[in-house]
Structure 1
């Protein structure tokens, strides 16, 4: 668990677990000899993708971005298929900060795929219950509608156990929305039809979390999109629109960097490294 202070804000990455997903799927049509130079791959052709929610403090509320992979909810088969070597210990991470899950006021969800939303619920007393029982959970209206009525492709990632127990906590939006002054959620589509990004402004500095249209620093090239993307051309367009020079981008999945900044030639000029385990 590590922190980054920028402007008046503190970003703390909580221990939300890890997946290891197929590298070819994560880089789509990009040949392995190219993407493997940018991001490490193991002998199973898998890349490490953290699922570490970001606790955002400094706006007068305790805000969580994404929710982790959850704990005690995945079968052995799912753990094997998704390369889950560690599950979430979010509540323990919060305890180390002198907090509890009940102290989270807001949860911002870029989208509701299982690797982002499984941490929203947990088994307790033999039933599924909310983890962040006092939080308002924000996601786009498009995402929420598809999650409740998934198609033949998306039903594999929108799991009822991740949304049914928290549906009374959810507030949706169309196009863009400010949950608090200085924070904006923007519906982009691309990775999923309802995918959103998060823009944060603090003391003249602008930060972006592009969710899964840029899950790691190695996905900066607009053409390097995921085979998992439902609308890859939308992902390309949105990356062209939102990836800007001299601007901070922070990550939920990246196993190497917490945040990076590039110049107008695409060269990394600053990076906040993720501590090695």
Structure 2
């Protein structure tokens, strides 16, 4: 089942020290601002919740993992300030994931675009299916993947990021994602994926929680400046989205 709510849905469940965050939206699990805010709060709360040692991030349904930011909100941006606020949504989510004390396992069951690639990159460990192709389409509509670049480049390297970003109309396969380090393992079916995600989460949840938190600190060393950097990047996109090129591209895309 997938949600029909216009602002999407987000549920958090904790069992046996494993927290699961599941988000959904009728438009291919894309994110309106309200849903991004709820996701930030979920990570912040779980970071300090002693009942959870591990977090699984997943989306609803058996198709797209995440189509990025809400297209309807994107085309309604009227000024630079609105643009900066809109693009700061994914900036704040990535920073919440980075700061979260608990390791985050990404369960990527299908295609992921734009901000969705940023989400996957900000996870500490990702498992995916063969259907989990990735694309950074931002340049094709006159903006760019500026906000998520630090997270994506940190995970797969600058050369692989460039390969995705410049060729904005090209899908890369899940096996390409695995080769570059975005995904640690790729499975044929969602059933296999879910089984392995659960097994891996159970294994991690039984490790020393303090060691897990220290490991996460080590892995994210040198990213403290992202609080400012990602908001600066959001301002770039916020200005570009008002350009004549982008307005025409969005109108064409909507038609």
**TM norm structure 2:** 0.32
Which has a greater percent of helix?
2
